A and B are shown apart, each in its own frame.
Chain A
């Protein structure tokens, strides 16, 4: 027994300032909070050649002081307004965001405008944040079982073009080589209003929010933008392999990545559904086969970051398998799952169930996302990506229909075309005690 589904409609208004800054507002007055985000179209994929980790180091510098808000002042003003803030560096975007009681909307916009206009940092700030970032790498990667698996391990094996294939967190030597001049140059090049979108969500009137945005952002000068880095990959003609030693954890792990179709193509929509057929929790085919039925693996998951990437990206399966099984045998059983989808396709009822879950997960992402600690984080994130990558924030209301109309035939053809050995990379993370190399 079930009720009729309620169709969700997200209110979206958008405009562009004279300096090229795009504005998106999404009013929702159900709770007295606003979430504000500024997304710049620069990520670790696009950082300067040979400067691994710079985009992320730079993200830290954006919290170190701007023209009228000295170091810690930005953070103090957001916290003392009753709000949270953070920033993250991604493949193709870097974002800065706050969730605050709605009476702090104007204040937050002033703060974001101040640091878009003029970063004010010194050598001491750079030294300090370089140290902080090194500890971040140690705590998340070097001193953590399976740290960086596979988001740092797999790209260098899967890809050939440096933007896609380098160490995104940064080699320590590259971090040490970063200068204050590099920081200011990076800021001038990429942190321009015409390379960004400002999102304002929640308890607000769009007209008033746009007015605040105009007041604080519109006189920030536009900059000539550099040509976008060439992130295309040369055609792949062979299966790629790599091995990394796991220094702490006891279990062998494998990551298998298939390069995905181009954004906004029919195959791309279908690939997102294929990902959920394979990886949708315990009902997903890979978990069912490797963990529940064959009991080769202790844990399996996987995903394809399709909505928030704008360049070569992979669907990645992560397998932690029991040491008494070989990696080769484990991959062979995984391959059986892929081959079954290629040869026998998918039944209509299984596909319908996957779509129901897809719709539910999409709503959850819009409502919270990122562990729900900031309301509407996912709504902000997707609105930003649809604006920057596709030029249309209203896709937030239409994109779901594309995913939900994927056919069984398209699923099978995507499996046959993309889930092939010549389009994949296989990474093994081998524990020291099991033959890994010190």
Chain B
């Protein structure tokens, strides 16, 4: 008799990693997308591992639309929306939420405003009713408005002491100029000037069903949930006009350094960026993969270089940032003050390497697998799923975006990466932001271009 199976004792310790097993199929939950008669687009997906639901109601107007008249007004409006309706005072809203095991957020980005709630599935009906109440009947109580405005005023002061905020603010100014995306937050004076009537007007004009998007995922059956939604949101009617696009910002020409002076800081926030593309551009997949290799993953060139080899920084990285009308590419690192020039040298070296040299097959394959896997992690949690669905539906991407993403990423080649890097890693015209102590960093930064200096309030200083 012979035995086919080797006894366990014959196992010798392996010194190379096991190969991957065959990939298991990934199935994104089926979406049901319905537009109600009032124009509200409803998208539902089941996610039943935990007895919860998560819902987001998006309005397609945000801070960009008021950037030239009252910066931050959309955010202020969203903040006050949760503080009262015609039938519920602030305290009742908060107690109702707790009674449903729910948490609520209301906020605005550049392009949209959102009310989001996550709570226990057994309370799905009252949760939807509360969202509808906030969307339709917010009453903007004077006292709550004054309280929230003061809170925002203090937050704005704290933002001006936060290096990463100051860097982002300056970069958006530099890249977007006259475009509304240039402004990411109001000043103290602008917050002080908000009036309740402005919030009410923004709410009336933009918190409307037509063109808006309700996403709900969770532990429910689609049919029953759709019935509830029709009941709760069906009778809501209001006029709507879609926000206009603004003229494209001109692309800055030549590298320029923008130094934000924070006296006495023990570290410098470096941020480098250039205009790029939106998710609707045919280059989006190529740029995303190039970014993963450059600085968008732990195992990326920038992290290997300035963290793991040189120890300049803790959390360096690069990002592709897609807003609705435009996108931009950024590279960031908080570094010790004496290596600002060295860091910028490596940032541009790695950008130029991506532009000049083909990525080797191993590195290409690693990055493709990384993006394909991490993108799909979103399927496993309600929040992850909501995040992916909001990307698809807010950016009006193709209906099979989630299902085809992995294949599209896996089909990319080294030539695609060179093309993307040459077009979107614009090292010759990238804008350089450094936030730190002028005396310690100015000379280093000046090696990379003419320098403009600002204080933390954005004023130009000599």
Contacts and interface: CB of A to CB of B under 8 A. Distances in A.
A425 B277 CA distance: 52
Given A81-B369, A144-B162, A292-B90, A367 B382 contact: yes
Interface stretch (B120-128, B199-207, B321-329): B120-128
B121 A104 contact: no
| Most B-side CB within 10 Å, residue of A111, A145, A215 | A145
Contacts of A209: none
Interface string A18-44: 000000000010111100000000000
Interface string A65-79: 001110110011101
Interface in A284-332: 288, 291-292, 295, 298-299, 320, 322
Contact of A71 (B18, B26, B163, B308): B308
B119 A360 contact: yes
Interface size class of A (residues with CB under 8 A): 35 or more
Given A31-B379, A363-B51, A83 B313 contact: no
B334 interface: yes
Contacts of A280: 98
Contacts of A394: none
Is chain B's binding surface mostly helix, strand, loop or mixed?
Answer: mixed
B123 A295 contact: no
A221 interface: no
A95 interface: no
B422 interface: no
A295 B219 contact: no
A247 B95 CA distance: 37
A322 B336 contact: no
B443 interface: no
Interface stretch (B71-79, B99-107, B175-183, B395-403): B99-107
A248 B98 contact: no
Interface stretch (B152-160, B239-247, B252-260): B152-160
A110 interface: yes
Nearest to A358: B101
A93 interface: no
Given A135-B314, A251-B158, A283-B94, A80 B17 contact: no
Given A247-B264, A363-B51, 19 more contacts: A2-B122, A2-B125, A5-B51, A32-B25, A33-B377, A68-B14, A72-B304, A72-B308, A77-B17, A79-B297, A128-B311, A129-B311, A132-B311, A143-B266, A203-B24, A298-B150, A320-B154, A360-B101, A367-B52
Interface of B: 11, 13-26, 48-52, 90-91, 94-95, 97-103, 118-126, 147, 150-151, 154-155, 157-158, 161-163, 219, 264-267, 269, 297-299, 304, 307-315, 334-336, 365-367, 369-370, 372-374, 376-377, 379-384
30 contacts: A3-B121, A6-B122, A31-B380, A75-B299, A82-B369, A82-B370, A101-B373, A111-B17, A133-B314, A135-B312, A135-B314, A135-B334, A135-B335, A138-B334, A143-B265, A143-B267, A143-B334, A249-B158, A250-B158, A280-B98, A283-B97, A283-B98, A288-B91, A291-B151, A292-B91, A298-B150, A357-B102, A361-B101, A368-B383, A375-B381
Interface of A: 1-6, 8, 28, 30-33, 67-69, 71-72, 75-77, 79-85, 99-107, 110-111, 127-136, 138-139, 142-146, 202-203, 215, 219, 247-251, 280-283, 288, 291-292, 295, 298-299, 320, 322, 353-354, 356-357, 359-361, 363-364, 366-368, 372-376
